[in-house]
Amino acid sequence: MAKKVTVKDIIQKFDLEVLSGWDQLDRTVHVSDLYRPGLELAGFFTYHPVERLQLLGKTELSFIRELTRQEREERMHKLCHPDIPCFVVTRNFEVPAELIKAAEEKGVPILRTALSTTKFGSKLTNYLEKHLAPTTTMHGVLVDVYGIGVLITGSSGIGKSETALELVKRGHRLVADDAVEIQQTGEGTLVGHAPELIRYLLEIRGLGIINVMTLFGAGAVRDKKKISLVIRLEAWQEQRQYDRLGLDEERTQIIDTFLPQLTVPVRPGRNLAVIIEVAAMNFRLKGLGYDAAQQFVQKLGETIEDADDLD
């Protein structure tokens, strides 16, 4: 699921001047990529990405001025495809009359900004990538443990919120409880945050809803966090064989990103907060190149080899 961005949203965000197409400002922008038509102005329209917002800067407008009147009329007529969300002219440059005429005929808005093409393009790209990024909502708890974004999942009533409360008491920070809104901001990057309605709130069965920031201070919460590790809590199953060495690399998919996942069985007497703390620290160590399980297996192999040599 992605958010909707309209031309009107972009106008309000960047305070753009509308030169034409006032009745077409509800057009939707579907992609974050921008396009500066160059080959098209030279007459090559075989590949023209009309789904992109089109930028016209000093280079493009200078080229247009060098064309003959007939060439300008022909090229502007072809350039203004009805599927283009809008044109944006930068540096407050004057817009060719032929472009305005063709845009009005095709119903394509023309906007203008005082910013340079590069600066405006960078700002607009960042804005579109943020608002058009794929999003999803998951049932779980997101906490910041030693700088690692840990998403705790599991069935309802398994103890996710209680574990999060214990982690907050131990100095870690809550990001979201119950519902975690997740946005894929880049390739392999997931950022989670809480819906506005339940931000900073934690639901504890038998106690009710508590405000973590009010009880523990501003240092106990944060608005968003990159998710690096998923820990799934499940009721202990005697017949199931759980990983005891940590060699099995379990992964889970969220949107288009695969994240490492640990399955932690829940039974009376297990301190889940401490287990999650250690899991986060161990994840950091692996990122630094140290894997305790691999080291153990390597030493075990060396010990067996030494014993065989003695025989």
Residue 157 counted as an annotated binding residue: yes
Residue 57 counted as an annotated binding residue: no
CA distance 277 to 274: 5
CA distance 50 to 128: 16
End-to-end CA distance of the chain: 64
What are the residues whose beta carbons fall under 8 Å from the beta carbon of 231, sequence distance 6 or more? 150, 151, 152, 153, 261, 262, 263, 264, 276, 279
Residue 161 counted as an annotated binding residue: yes
Residue 156 counted as an annotated binding residue: yes
* Angle in degrees, CA 219, 280, 148, rounded to 5: 50
CA distance 86 to 27: 8
CA distance 29 to 6: 6
Residue 100 counted as an annotated binding residue: no
SS3 call for 311? coil
**Pair type for strands 34-35 and 53-56:** parallel
Which sequence positions are flagged as catalytic?
139, 160, 178, 244
Residue 301 counted as an annotated binding residue: no
List strand residue ranges (DSSP E) for the chain, in order: 5-6, 17-20, 28-29, 34-35, 53-56, 87-89, 110-112, 135-139, 141-145, 148-154, 173-176, 179-186, 189-193, 201-204, 208-211, 224-226, 229-235, 251-254, 257-266
Which residue in 278, 170, 179, 173 sits closest to 222, CA to CA? 173
Distances (CA, A) of 169 to 131, 172, 174: 34, 7, 10
CA distance 171 to 193: 19
Q: Which residue has the tokens 């819906």?
A: 195
Q: Known binding site for Mg(2+): residues?
A: 161, 203
Binding residues for ATP: 154-161
Binding-site residue ranges: 154-161, 203
